[in-house]
């Protein structure tokens, strides 16, 4: 594994955060020729039967493919052990036949961030950092705070003072972090964090290449759960675009290692009010930041840091980028709920995007599609409550307190609706 600039290819040392030559983001490169794919598959699968913490983590189980970190520094919560579910109602909603959910909300802090955070915080501990810092719309904050608590590092998070989920802030405080609410949006918070000295603090936003290495393991876990049969499409929400670049990297490596025999396509879905990546994908040129506006607060990001890396990855898979309106996201989220699987609004951009791509004919009815659910429904309970109390669109809407007789009638009514 070697670390170099993802833009100008200049070599970098393991301790730097940005390229010394051009300021670009750094990335690890894996030399696939060093490995035997079949042997790797056997090792990964055997580890699932072990009781060792590292073997049972859905990140460290793939440790041959990660930058080396000494075992005594690893901080793990057995992250990225995540289910893949058939998406019955989600498939019908999008007029598709083979759809499943990869539920990354089943992680220890209930979002996909844990897979990357275990590597970033382990690295911070190994290099002797005493404090970790991030900018966040809430999920990175909660994840970083939990891993810092386990690692006995101080945690400082910068979040927008308004417009993020109160539950995520409470979760972050529970884990003992210091929260600084800034007068500005996520993009401003990230600017402030990037100006800090990386020699003094561990910056663990997805500009940190160790984060990306951990997050790419979500792709490995997905492929392994499917017996290394690649789907046709993987559809995921895009905000700061670290996850898109991580998924793309994981898929490319799995293909180069011979773990899979073809590359799935990536479809990235942004909220319409925060879609600068969708625009640059279709129009070319440099990304033009926007002032982000969306109720899917996790992806309310106007100047995504990893857009260049993500663009390379989406193009490498022959994929696409689109945006979905807040209304489409809200309805898609409720449909995912009806599958018995809860997710937060940003995650539901995946199903809203699939529906649009089916209408456009980009994705075929029989294509094998995986929707990536990035966060758990309880991450944003206020959003779900507001949806149900204002819309009453579904048969399970809240009713006034019934009398005994009403209740019997209600049982009949509910039964009839569900037969
Ligand atoms: N889904 C959820 C639930 C998220 O929290 C995020 C990002 C994304 C999707 C988008 O991922 O940024 O890698 O493209 N949340 C960050 C945070 C920004 O601070 O928690 P991305």
Encode pLDDT of 237-259 as tens digits. Answer: 999 999 999 999 999 999 999 99
The strands making up 320-324's β-sheet, listed across from edge to edge, are: 84-86, 98-103, 368-373, 233-237, 265-271, 320-324
Higher per-residue confidence, 219 vs 200: 219
Q: Determine the pLDDT at residue 176.
A: 97
- Centre of ligand 1 to C-alpha 133, Å, is 16
**How far apart (Å, rounded) are the C-alpha atoms in residues 310 and 346?**
18
3-class SS of residue 148: helix
Q: Determine the pLDDT at residue 389.
A: 79
Cβ neighbours around 43 below 10 Å, total: 15
What number does the ligand 1 atom closest to the CA of 240 have?
12
pLDDT at 58 over 80: yes
What number does the ligand 1 atom closest to the CA of 139 have?
20
- Centre of ligand 1 to C-alpha 239, Å, is 6
3-class SS of residue 356: helix
User: Is 347 a pocket residue for ligand 1 (Cβ < 6 Å)?
Assistant: yes
User: Is 245 a pocket residue for ligand 1 (Cβ < 6 Å)?
Assistant: no
**How far apart (Å, rounded) are the C-alpha atoms in residues 134 and 211?**
12
pLDDT at 299 over 70: yes
User: Is 237 a pocket residue for ligand 1 (Cβ < 6 Å)?
Assistant: yes
Give me the mean pLDDT over the 329-348 stretch. Answer: 96
pLDDT at 335 over 60: yes
3-class SS of residue 202: strand
User: Is 241 a pocket residue for ligand 1 (Cβ < 6 Å)?
Assistant: yes
Cα distances (Å, whole numbers) of residue 264 to 129, 130, 225, 261, 305: 38, 40, 15, 10, 24
Q: Band of the pLDDT at 413, cuts 50, 70, 90?
A: confident
What number does the ligand 1 atom closest to the CA of 142 have?
20
Least Cα distance to 297 among 99, 160, 411, 416 occurs for: 160
Residues 183-193 pLDDT 10s: 999 999 999 99
3-state helix, strand and coil shares in percent for the chain, rounded to the nearest 5: 45, 15, 40
Q: Helix axis angle, 113-126 relative to 139-151, nearest 10°?
A: 40
- Centre of ligand 1 to C-alpha 347, Å, is 9
- With 0.85 as the threshold, say if the pTM is over it: yes
> What is the share, in percent, of the chain residues with pLDDT greater than 90?
89
What number does the ligand 1 atom closest to the CA of 238 have?
14
**How far apart (Å, rounded) are the C-alpha atoms in residues 114 and 211?**
9
- Centre of ligand 1 to C-alpha 381, Å, is 17
Phi, psi of 96 (to 5 degrees): -135, 165
**How far apart (Å, rounded) are the C-alpha atoms in residues 305 and 70?**
29
Are 222 and 266 spatial neighbours (Cβ–Cβ below 8 Å)? no
- Centre of ligand 1 to C-alpha 125, Å, is 24
pLDDT at 418 over 80: no
What number does the ligand 1 atom closest to the CA of 375 have?
3
- Centre of ligand 1 to C-alpha 298, Å, is 5
- Point out the least confidently predicted range of 31-45, 121-135, 263-277, 381-395: 381-395
Residues 73-93 pLDDT 10s: 999 999 999 999 999 999 999
- Centre of ligand 1 to C-alpha 415, Å, is 38
Bridge partner list, 9: none
- Centre of ligand 1 to C-alpha 404, Å, is 46
**How far apart (Å, rounded) are the C-alpha atoms in residues 172 and 266?**
31
Pocket test for ligand 1, best of 115, 191, 239 (most atoms within 8 A of CB): 239
Q: Band of the pLDDT at 402, cuts 50, 70, 90?
A: confident
């Amino acid at each position: 594994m070697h670390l170099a600039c993802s833009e100008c290819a200049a070599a970098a040392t393991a301790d730097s955060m940005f390229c010394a030559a051009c300021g670009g983001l750094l990335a690890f490169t894996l030399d696939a020729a060093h490995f035997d794919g079949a042997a790797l598959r056997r090792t990964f699968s055997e580890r699932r039967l072990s009781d060792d913490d590292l073997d049972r983590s859905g990140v460290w189980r793939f440790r041959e493919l990660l930058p080396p970190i000494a075992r005594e520094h690893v901080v793990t919560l057995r992250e990225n052990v995540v289910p893949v579910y058939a998406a019955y109602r989600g498939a019908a909603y999008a007029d598709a036949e083979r759809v499943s959910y990869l539920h990354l909300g089943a992680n220890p802090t209930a979002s996909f961030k844990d897979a990357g955070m275990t590597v970033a915080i382990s690295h911070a501990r190994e290099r002797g950092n005493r404090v970790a810092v991030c900018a966040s719309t809430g999920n990175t904050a909660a994840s970083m705070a939990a891993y810092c608590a386990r690692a006995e590092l101080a945690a400082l998070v910068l979040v927008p003072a308004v417009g993020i989920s109160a539950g995520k802030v409470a979760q972050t405080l529970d884990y003992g972090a210091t929260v600084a609410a800034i007068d500005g949006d996520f993009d401003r918070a990230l600017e402030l964090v990037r100006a800090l000295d990386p020699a003094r603090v561990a910056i663990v936003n997805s500009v940190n290449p160790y984060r990306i290495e951990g997050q790419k393991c979500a792709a490995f876990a997905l492929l392994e759960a499917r017996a290394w049969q690649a789907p046709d499409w993987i559809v995921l929400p895009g905000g700061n675009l670290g996850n898109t670049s991580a998924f793309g990297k994981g898929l490319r490596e799995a293909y180069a290692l011979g773990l899979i025999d073809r590359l799935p396509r990536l479809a990235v879905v942004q909220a319409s009010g925060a879609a600068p990546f969708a625009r640059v994908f279709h129009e070319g040129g440099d990304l033009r930041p926007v002032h982000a506006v969306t109720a899917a607060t996790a992806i309310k990001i106007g100047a995504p840091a990893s857009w260049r890396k993500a663009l390379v990855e989406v193009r490498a898979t022959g994929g696409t980028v689109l945006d979905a309106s807040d209304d489409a996201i809200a309805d898609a989220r409720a449909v995912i709920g009806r599958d018995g699987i809860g997710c937060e609004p940003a995650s539901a951009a995946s199903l809203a995007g699939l529906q649009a791509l089916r209408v456009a004919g980009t994705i075929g009815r029989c294509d094998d599609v995986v929707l990536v659910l990035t966060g758990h429904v309880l991450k944003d309970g206020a959003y779900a409550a507001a949806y149900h109390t204002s819309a009453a669109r579904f048969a399970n809407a809240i009713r006034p307190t019934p009398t005994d007789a009403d209740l019997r009638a209600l049982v009949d009514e509910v039964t009839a609706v569900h037969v």
